[in-house]
Amino acid sequence: MYTLYYLPSACSLATQVVLHELGQEVEIIDKRKVDHFTEINPVGSVPVLFDDSRSLREGAAILLYLLNKHQNTMLPTTGTAREQAIQDIMFANATMHPKYSLLFFIDQNINDEKAKQSAFRAAEQAINALWQVVEKQLSDQEFLGGDEPSAADVLLAVYSRWGKSFPVNITLGANSEKMVETVLLRPSFQRALAAEEQHSAS
């Protein structure tokens, strides 16, 4: 069984969802309840995944490790479809994720209200522009990977929930909205949310 260190609703949620999609059991541990978490991950971030005694860090690397290890429909094994799936994961993790992360940085580090609102507007525009890229890719397919959800779809669905916590107007196109809603309603996603809620309450 895997062990996953997480924060509620953080990008570690995607790791848990993918584990459920792969039919793998996982124990989740809230990093806030762990003394000296930097001994587990020196940079202090989640997710951190343990596969027996092996420790894995960085969300995209963890997802690729899991998808390469377990049989699945989320990551093609060869060819251009595989290359596209990896590119989609990197887009979500290295391009979309940092733009959403800016919202947290702005909220926590900018005190001047005028400057804060200006920064929020700039972040909003950048995020909306990236969702237009997603919208175009979904113009002739239901998910980024085609007919089945990919790990990138899961990542984007997780990020899409973050904007509601900030004074920004993030607009998804019809195709993107449909993809996100479909992923959010999957049993794997609902199970992951329920597990986080249960552990946070305990």
Tell me, yes or no, whether 92 and 175 share the same domain: yes
Beta-carbon neighbour count of residue 103 at 10 Å? 21
Cis peptide before 47 (omega within 30 of 0): yes
Residue 92: per-residue pLDDT:
98
Residue 67: per-residue pLDDT:
98
Domain count, the chain: 2
Rounded-to-integer distance, Cα 166 and Cα 10, Å: 15
Tell me, yes or no, whether 116 and 138 share the same domain: yes
Tell me, yes or no, whether 142 and 161 share the same domain: yes
Q: What is the pLDDT along the chain (202 residues), one digit of tens a residue?
A: 999 999 999 999 999 999 999 999 999 999 999 999 999 999 999 999 999 989 999 999 999 999 999 999 999 999 999 999 999 999 999 999 999 999 999 999 999 999 999 999 999 999 999 999 999 999 999 999 899 999 999 999 999 999 999 999 999 999 999 999 999 999 999 999 999 998 877 6
What is the model's pTM?
0.96
Tell me, yes or no, whether 142 and 111 share the same domain: yes
Per-residue exposure over 152-165, b if at least 16 CB sit within 10 Å of its own CB, e if not: bbbbbbbbbebbee
Distances, alpha carbon 134 to alpha carbons 90, 91, 92, in Å: 13, 10, 10
Residue 85: per-residue pLDDT:
96
What DSSP letter does each residue of 24-82 carry, written as one string? --EEEEEGGGSTTGGGT-TT--S-EEEETTEEEESHHHHHHHHHHHS--SSS-SSHHHH
Tell me, yes or no, whether 125 and 170 share the same domain: yes
Q: Which of 138, 118, 58, 129 is nearest to 94 (CA)?
A: 58
Residue 20: per-residue pLDDT:
98
Cβ burial of 4 (10 Å; 0-12, 13-18, 19+) is: buried
Tell me, yes or no, whether 124 and 38 share the same domain: no
Tell me, yes or no, whether 23 and 95 share the same domain: no
Structural domain for 41, as ranges: 2-72+187-201
